[in-house]
């Protein structure tokens, strides 16, 4: 059995991904589209800006008054969903 561990905190959002303020996501590489809530759209924007996890965590937890542990769990879930749709990579 081989176990592969991927560091979701080092993921990079694809640079050509288009995201509207309302949360509409378009991947021009393959034409796929998705939607997310406003927090998801903000997370993608921060990732596209190259913000570190620490910077993202600080901004989101202060803006939305969410506990850091709750943010971490939600962030992991969100990144996993982006991975499932090939919208992030660990390059």
Residue 3: predicted pLDDT: 40
User: According to the model, what pLDDT value does residue 15 have?
Assistant: 82
pLDDT > 80? residue 7: no
Q: Up-side HSE of residue 37: CA atoms within 13 Å toward CB?
A: 3
Q: Rounded mean pLDDT of 64-90?
A: 90
Is pLDDT larger for residue 35 or for residue 12? 35
Share of the chain above pLDDT 70, in %: 87
Calpha distance 37→22 (Å, rounded): 7
pTM beyond cutoff 0.85: no
Q: Report the half-sphere exposure of 39 (CA within 13 A, side-chain side).
A: 15
Which of 42, 22, 21, 24 minimizes the C-alpha distance to 33? 24
Quick one: CA torsion of 7, 44, 78, 52, rounded to 10 degrees?
A: 40
Phi/psi at 58 (nearest 5 deg)?
-60, -45
**DSSP three-state, residue 26:** strand
Q: What integer pLDDT is reported at residue 34 of this predicted model?
A: 94
Q: Please state, rounded to an integer, the average pLDDT across all residues of the chain.
A: 86
């Amino acid at each position: 059995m081989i176990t592969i561990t991927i560091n979701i905190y080092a993921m990079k959002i694809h640079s050509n991904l288009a995201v509207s303020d309302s949360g509409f996501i378009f991947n021009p590489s393959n034409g796929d589209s998705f939607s997310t809530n406003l927090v998801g759209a903000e997370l993608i924007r921060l990732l596209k800006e190259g913000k570190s996890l620490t910077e993202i965590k600080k901004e989101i937890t202060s803006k939305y008054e969410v506990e850091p542990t709750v943010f971490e769990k939600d962030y992991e879930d969100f990144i996993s969903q982006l991975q499932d749709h090939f919208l992030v990579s660990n390059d």
